[in-house]
Structure 1
Amino acid sequence: MTITETTGSTHTIVTICGTLDASTAPDFRNSPAIADPSRTVVIDLDKMDFLDSSGLGALVGVLRRKQEANATILLSCMNPPVRKVFDITGTCKLFHIFDDTDAANDYAATYLRGR
């Protein structure tokens, strides 16, 4: 898995390429924008090819920490196999999910202006 971060003035776009699973979840949780509880992030999942329960647990755990700090995670570009994991587990109800990163960025900017 590779993680790329693009930091803007209000939020950070985090792009995940590869697999988010038990072996890569610690790297995900320790990446700078993810580890900063007060930083809102848009996570681009277009290049994520696999997500297991450990990866899903990492996403949910980070979301909760960010919400406690008045920030959030927005998910974008979820491919069908990854979306299926969210739908089956019902975790899609926890996240704001967008079809494209531009829409997620617009929402993040609006969300952050309202805080």
Structure 2
Amino acid sequence: MIISENTFNNITVIALQGTLDARNAPQLKQFNSAGAAANSIVINLSEVDFLDSSGLGAIVSITRLKRSQGGDVILACMNDKVRNVFEITHVYKLFDIYDDVEAATLNAEKKQTSL
């Protein structure tokens, strides 16, 4: 799995690429501190080709931490395989999900200004 990040206006965009499973979910969990200074994290899932329960758990873990700090995690660019995992597990109900990173980032900015 490849992870890249970019922070702008207190929003960290994390782009994931490849497989997010039990072997590399701990790598994503290390990004709990990636957006520590940011109010919100947008996770770009467009290049994720496989997601299992461990990967899902890593995303939920980051979300819990960020929300405990008064921020949020917003998801963007899910392909059908990834979306299916979120829907089957009903975890999609926990997130704002957008078709593109720009819309997700705009939502994060709106949430910041409403605080």
**TM-score bracket for this pair, using the shorter chain length:** over 0.9
Shift of 1:38: 5.7
Report the count of equivalent residues.
114
* Partner Cα separation in structure 2 for residue 91 and residue 79 of structure 1: 16
* Partner Cα separation in structure 1 for residue 67 and residue 78 of structure 2: 21
SS of equivalent residue, structure 1 residue 26:
helix
Instruction: Give TM-score scaled by structure 2 length.
Output: 0.93
Structure 1 alignment gaps of length 5 or more = none
* Partner Cα separation in structure 1 for residue 57 and residue 37 of structure 2: 16
RMSD: 1.4
Instruction: Give TM-score scaled by structure 1 length.
Output: 0.93
* Partner Cα separation in structure 2 for residue 38 and residue 71 of structure 1: 8
**Contact persistence 2:20–2:51 (CA under 8 A):** yes
Shift of 1:39: 3.9
Higher percent of residues as strand: 2
Structure 2 alignment gaps of length 5 or more = none
* Partner Cα separation in structure 2 for residue 77 and residue 9 of structure 1: 21
Identity among equivalent positions (%) equals: 42
Quote the residue 1:63 is aligned against: 63
SS of equivalent residue, structure 1 residue 17:
strand
